[in-house]
Structure 1
Amino acid sequence: MKVDILASGSAGNCIALTTAGKTILIDAGIAKTKIEKRLLEVAIRPDSITAIFITHAHGDHTKGLPLANKYGIPVYATVGEWKGISGVDERLRRTLETRYGDYEPSYLGGVTVYPFHTHHDSYEPVGYAIEPDIGPRACVVFDTGKLDNDMLAMMEGSIYIIEANHDRDMVAESNYPDSVKARVLSDLGHLSNEQTAAALTELIRGSGEQIYLTHLSSSNNMPTLAEATVKAALRRKGFLEGTHYHLEVV
């Protein structure tokens, strides 16, 4: 599976995953023209995108959805998140359906996308597991204030694209209003470095998994700090970066 992180952070998020001859986007949170440019930079034609899957309707995840109308790309989102998404042609709107509380998978021919519940202050946010018929399984988890056991079960795979948004001490010492601090640190906010590290210690098996730390706060985190926190936690489990897994901070 080819992973191209076109944008990551509070200014916008967009990931291209290419597998089984198809490219899908997870979120489209930067301007349409920037998505087009960055796709071409990684040798992906914008008119070749199979589908766009939205995690939630906040602007840093949906700003570039006019791309869908231009190229006729189906856009998948939950019933709740469609409440906050406008400007997508009706013919391109796809709703992620549930059955007995779980989301139905989306079959794209050679690759299956499994949505799962996350925890954020939006209508009905989700993460995604992307599983080709042949090849490694990837999961994408953005904006979530916590990771529960159901999420961890869905996230098992070989490629982890997960937010490491903030350092809790940096948030506490920041100039953010108390209400914003409380939101970021809440169960409906964002993952801290420590939360992400703890989840990865449950998921990583030392079989060469690829980890991408994403959605870092520009104010309340540092790439070196996020990287060091995760590496230290995995080292305590006996796993070394470059030997048992590979890590990239985006």
Structure 2
Amino acid sequence: MKYALDAMASWREETTIKVNILASGSAGNCIALTTGEKTILIDAGVAKTKIEKRLLEVGIRSDEVAAIFITHAHGDHTKGLPLANKYRIPVYATQGEWKGISGVDEELRRECETTYGLYDLILLDEFEIRPFGVHHDAYEPIGYSITDIETRVSICLDTGKIDEEMLVSMDDSDIYIIESNHEPAMVEAGGYPDVVKARILSDNGHLSNEQTAGALQRLIRGCGERIYLTHLSSKNNMPTLAEMTVKQALKHNGFVAGKHYEIEVV
């Protein structure tokens, strides 16, 4: 056991992409990934001033951000995009999602393009970014698989289900940043209107704890992967419940938190 723990500690030291989750949840989402001297943001869903402040708190200046990658055009993922105009930061989004994004200067707009139905690889300094399709009630929502050659990070936020193509896109990652939005029984018993409940629980809504746990059962190999559970509902979930559901699922595969993988609820 000591050898396994030492091996995992060594793996963590060798991880070359640093993750800072600046905001997570229905109030706003923003993730900073840094390798070497380069930082990119996945989403900018809180006010520009909050992003600036939270970047400084983790030792990153806003003018050091090389690009912003948007998963989809909902406000809790795009609210802070005025940051791009202020610091002249390129913004990447799919053609569909640009329909719902306004206020970004034309020369900063970049499109995630496809070839024969698959998203093209985006090369940005040390980063290689590959978008993949997800299932959400937006125009053309995506997740991202990102590598600097040595470390691979997969980011899957708002989606109502995880299909085989998404699993293939995320497979063999060192770090998983994934939505664990709700517990279905809490949604059903809650005070939301029926139409909102139906949206959350649909295949174009959000992942339940059980769905997230099931996906991670397919992805985690017990090699010291790091899991971040994100985008938890403040009304329809509890951090301990989300974490417990994943741990129990991975225990069925013989994997124990702290020994075979690390998990954090954000």
Q: Does 1:22 align with 2:38?
A: yes
Task: State the distance in 2 between where 1:237 and 1:112 align.
Answer: 31
* Corresponding residue number in structure 2 for 1:154: 169
Asked if structure 2 preserves the Cα contact closer than 8 Å seen for 1:20 and 1:111, the reply is no
Give the 4+ runs in structure 1 shifted more than 3 A. none
Q: Is the 8 A contact 1:79 1:124 kept in 2?
A: yes
Aligned equivalent of 2:22:
6
Residue 80 (structure 1) aligned to one of 92, 96, 102:
96
1:127 alignment counterpart: 143
Any conservation in 2 of the 1:20–1:132 contact (CA below 8 Å)?
A: no
Task: Confirm or deny that 1:42 pairs with 2:66.
Answer: no
- What's 2:186 paired with? 170
**Whole-angstrom CA distance in 1 between matches of 2:221 and 2:156:** 19
The 1-side partners of 2:251 and 2:114 are apart by 39
Aligned to 2:226: 210
Structure 1: state its 5+ residue gaps. Answer: none
Aligned length: 249
Residue by residue over 1:185-205, the C-alpha shift from the partner in whole angstroms, topping out at 9 and shown as x without a partner, is 000000000000000000000
1:20 Cα deviation from its structure 2 partner: 4.0
Q: Which amino acid aligns with 2:158?
A: D
TM-score, length of structure 2 as denominator length:
0.93
List runs of 5+ in structure 2 lacking aligned partners.
Answer: 1-16
Question: Which residue among 171, 186, 192 is the counterpart of 2:208?
Answer: 192
Structure 1 residue 22 displacement after superposition = 1.3
Q: Which residue is 1:139 aligned to?
A: 154
Question: In structure 2, what residue type is equivalent to 1:208?
Answer: G
Q: Quote the sequence identity (%).
A: 69
How many Å separate the matches in 2 of 1:136 and 1:231? 23
Q: Output the aligned Cα RMSD.
A: 0.6
Distance 2:161 2:247 in 1: 20
Partners of 1:52 and 1:125 in 2: CA distance: 15
TM-score normalised by L of structure 1: 0.99
SS of residue paired to 1:17: strand
Which residue of structure 2 lines up, in the alignment, with residue 90 of structure 1?
Answer: 106
Deviations 1:180-221 (A, max 9, x none): 110000000000000000000000000000000000000000
Q: Distance in 1 between matches of 2:152 and 2:134?
A: 19
Deviation readout 1:47-79 (Å, 9 max, x if unpaired):
000100000000000000000000000000000
SS at 2:89 equivalent: coil
